A and B are shown apart, each in its own frame.
Chain A
Amino acid sequence: MLNAPYVIGSYVVTLGGIALYTWRMLGQARTAARQVPPEDRPWT
């Protein structure tokens, strides 16, 4: 594929960035949830 490094690179950066953000956010959620009982979470 012509220009493959740029095309594939853009997909890798996009999906990698989203995955990294999601992983960090869910990790932060798990850490914070240890101090908040389930009955204080309005969505449960």
Chain B
Amino acid sequence: MTGFMTSPRNSPGTVAVLDRAPTSTTFSRVLGIATLVGIGWLVVFGLFLSPNDRVQKTGVRIMYIHVPSAWLAYLAFGVTGVSSLAYLWKRTRSLAWDRLAGASAEVGVLFMGITLVSGSLWGRISWGTYWTWDARLTTTAFLFVTYIGYLAVRDLGGTHQQRAKRSAVLAVLAMLEVPLVHFSVTWWRPLHQNETVENGKLSGLMLFTLFVGLIAFTLLYVWLVLHRQRVLTLLDQVDDRGLDVAIAERRNESVPS
């Protein structure tokens, strides 16, 4: 057991809970339960209660995860970009913005991956192929790879401030790709369909199910980013402690015995 177990601020019971779920709070637990309920609703409505589409038949059920995951990926990358701008602005230069940007980008990559895989399976049903190099699919894949690159750049090493600065610049540039992906269906008229919701093509239970998916994934996004940025805080503190120990050891070595 480590020394902090005996901290007077924490009773043994509190410490046990903190160790099992060190990034949890009452708010995050309530949010987690709401997220699970939302995802349960999404599965029930998406797979069983919503009707089949006249043209796409059962294939339309993939839309309830494909569209919300794409929207959430946009939101996540937007949050990454805005947090990075906040970090770069001198008056708000705080590593908390950098960690929020990193956490949001990671969750965004997860949602973008889900978008690509679910879209590929939907494409197999609708177009008879898993992949085609049309404008929407290509720009989406490019966005996905860009943010994987962003995450790789975050892991390049250096101090926390160096990491924050270089990744913030990259995030601001990468954010410019999001409108390119979104408007690709209107600019190039590819195989991928236009906006279904904005054009009012959905109604009734299908529209309701899509909103259930959107709410469930939004709650999930908030829960994941909340936890992930706390994990990044812990990892930064572990790094700092390792550096402190290394410096202390080096000083001890240099003291003549």
Contact, CB under 8 Å: B237 / A3? no
Closest Cβ of chain B: how far from A8's Cβ, in Å?
8
Contact, CB under 8 Å: B10 / A3? no
Closest Cβ of chain B: how far from A7's Cβ, in Å?
5
Question: Which single member of B9, B23, B65 contacts A29 (CB below 8 Å)?
Answer: B23
Does residue B125 face the partner (Cβ distance < 8 Å to A)? yes
Asked, given contacts A10-B117, A13-B114, A44-B18, whether A25 binds B231 with beta carbons under 8 Å apart, the answer is yes
A22-B25 Cα distance, complex, nearest whole Å: 16
Mark each residue of chain A from 28 to 44: 1 if its CB lies under 8 Å from any CB of chain B, else 0: 11101111111111111
A25-B32 Cα distance, complex, nearest whole Å: 14
Contact, CB under 8 Å: B62 / A10? yes
Residues of chain B with a CB closer than 8 A to A4's CB = 58
Chain A residue with the shortest CB-CB distance to B56: A3
Chain A, range 1-19, C-beta contacts under 8 Å to B: 1-4, 6-11, 13-15, 17-18
Give the total number of A-B pairs whose CB atoms are below 8 A apart. Answer: 125
A31-B57 Cα distance, complex, nearest whole Å: 47
Q: Chain A at the B interface: mostly helix, strand, loop or mixed?
A: helix
Chain B CB within 10 Å — which of A6, A11, A21, A30 has the most? A6
Q: Chain B at the A interface: mostly helix, strand, loop or mixed?
A: helix
Closest Cβ of chain B: how far from A4's Cβ, in Å?
7
Contact, CB under 8 Å: B237 / A36? yes
Contact, CB under 8 Å: A29 / B4? no
Question: Which single member of A2, A13, A18, A29 contacts B234 (CB below 8 Å)?
Answer: A29
Question: Which single member of A1, A9, A32 contacts B58 (CB below 8 Å)?
Answer: A1
- Sample 29 A-B pairs with CB under 8 A, ordered by A number: A3-B58, A6-B59, A6-B122, A7-B59, A7-B61, A10-B117, A13-B114, A14-B65, A14-B114, A18-B114, A18-B220, A21-B110, A29-B21, A29-B231, A32-B231, A33-B19, A33-B22, A35-B2, A35-B241, A36-B4, A36-B238, A36-B241, A37-B3, A38-B7, A38-B14, A38-B15, A40-B237, A41-B230, A42-B233
Smallest CB-CB A-B distances: 7 pairs: A37-B4, A33-B22, A32-B234, A10-B118, A6-B121, A10-B121, A29-B231
Chain A positions near chain B (C-beta within 8 angstroms)? 1-4, 6-11, 13-15, 17-18, 21-22, 25-26, 28-30, 32-44
